[in-house]
Structure 1
Amino acid sequence: MISLRKVLAATAILIFAAATADAATVHRTYSYYSITGKTAADLDKGLARGGPLLKSTGNHHPGAAQIRFDAKARYRSDGRACRVTGVYVNVYAKVMLPRWKQRRKAEPQLALVWDTLSQDIKRHEESHIIIARTHASEIERAVRALPSRPDCALLRADINKVTEQLMKAHDIAQKKFDYVETLNFEKRFERLLTYRLERMISEQRTVSSKQ
């Protein structure tokens, strides 16, 4: 069995590209790093040593989601007041996940553990993207709702303030998610593993009954 205490769900690298933001759109790209081995210990080492190195922790992690916000706001003055005329936030996510080279030749028990773990790693990173998209949408709504100002310099300051506040809330939400995920990892993984095992046994019984 893989050392569950060592295989912690990955934290995301959070990068915000300054600006402000019509519909929050997510653009994803995936890359993979390879790990090799024939035992649970090999996989544990591969994840600990070969995973992406996060500057925020100084450690290698099983997976990572590098998130960037591309946000823009448009505003215009009619000579009497300056108003927001458009806003959008795009989320760009680069996801890095593990790939086990010997998966097809693995023993059933170890393959089951790996499939469960790798799926959970991907789910974790996708959850970071969902959190980012949620906050991107909040930025759009908040900026769009800003009242007009006597001049555009004041409105621009309001836009920057709202954006900064929501980005801080975004960072807090991401860190809280990682904290909760880490605390619940072992119970969650055991539950997922049990579910997959029961489903596999059920499928085998179904096949046997048809023979």
Structure 2
Amino acid sequence: MTPPTRYGDPRSAQAGSSGRGAAGLALLLALSSCGPARHGASAPPSLPSGVRAEVVERSYPVRGTTHREIGRSLAENRVSIAGRSFAGVHSWRLSWRYRYGSAASACRIRSLDIRLVSETVLPRWEDRGRADSAIVADWDHYLGLLRAHEN
């Protein structure tokens, strides 16, 4: 278990984490596994016809050159959802559309379109170039943990 960093614990609760993310990801993986296996491929597998996935990354500014200034800026600029604030947020939307018709006295799906939008919001440190190397290393560690948590 990784201890919290100087800027807060990136593992704290976030919006959109009620377990629905796992269901959406499972559906997307199941659909994408319909094609041939791609052992050792570094790129994500291509999606089947009718399935679209969009990855959106947004950020909010954080300023400061000391731990205290950065922490204050993080606290002031965090993402706010329903009265709660978060250092980072991941959300997703899954939608589908289908057409059906009858064939041989049975209903059949004629076409299916599935769309998944995955959006992550993380802090963007504006003063990185002016800060001490130890603070840059701390920030990189913190942001790495936060990014891993949101993904």
TM-score bracket for the superposition, by shorter chain length:
0.5 to 0.7
Residue among 64, 69, 72 paired with 2:94: 69
Equivalence for 1:2: 6
Residue 4 of structure 1 aligns with an amino acid whose one-letter code is G
Decide which of 33, 44, 68 is 1:41's aligned counterpart: 68
Of Structure 1 and Structure 2, which has the larger fraction of its residues in helix? 1
Give the match for residue 54 of structure 2. 27
Tell whether the 8 Å contact from 1:30 to 1:95 is kept in structure 2 after alignment: yes
| 1:11 pairs with 2:38 | no
Structure 1 residue 117: Cα displacement? 1.3
Contact preservation (8 Å) 1:49, 1:60 = no
Is 1:60 paired with 2:85? yes
User: Partner residue of 2:130?
Assistant: 105
TM-score normalised by length of structure 1 = 0.48
* 1:31–1:64 distance in 2 versus 1, CA, 3 Å: same
Equivalences, count: 118
* Structure 1 segment 1-211 matched on structure 2, within 5 A: 2-5=6-9, 7-9=10-12, 11-13=14-16, 23=48, 24-55=51-82, 58-78=83-103, 80-125=105-150, 127=151
Q: Is the Cα contact below 8 Å between 1:51 and 1:60 reproduced in 2?
A: yes
CA–CA separation in structure 1 for the residues paired with 2:81 and 2:117: 18
Q: Which residue of 2 aligns with 1:201?
A: none
* 2: CA distance, partners of 1:42 / 1:101: 12
- Give the structure with the larger strand fraction: 2
Q: TM-score, normalised by structure 2?
A: 0.64
Deviation larger for 100-109 or 22-31: 22-31
Q: Could you give the per-residue CA deviations for residues 114-143 of structure 1, whole angstroms, max 9, x where no partner exists? A: 011112222322x2xxxxxxxxxxxxxxxx
The answer as to whether partners of 2:91 and 2:118 remain within 8 angstroms in 1 is yes
Asked whether the 8 Å contact 1:47–1:98 carries over to 2, the reply is: yes
Q: Which has the higher contact order (CA 8 A, sep 6+)?
A: 2
Q: Any stretches of 5+ residues in structure 2 without a counterpart?
A: 21-27, 32-47
2:96 and 2:113 in contact (8 A); partners too:
yes
CA deviation after TM superposition for structure 1 residue 48, in Å: 2.4
The structure with the largest alpha-carbon Rg is 1
CA distance in 2, matches of 1:3, 1:66: 22
1:10, 1:63 within 8 Å by CA — same for their partners in 2? Answer: no
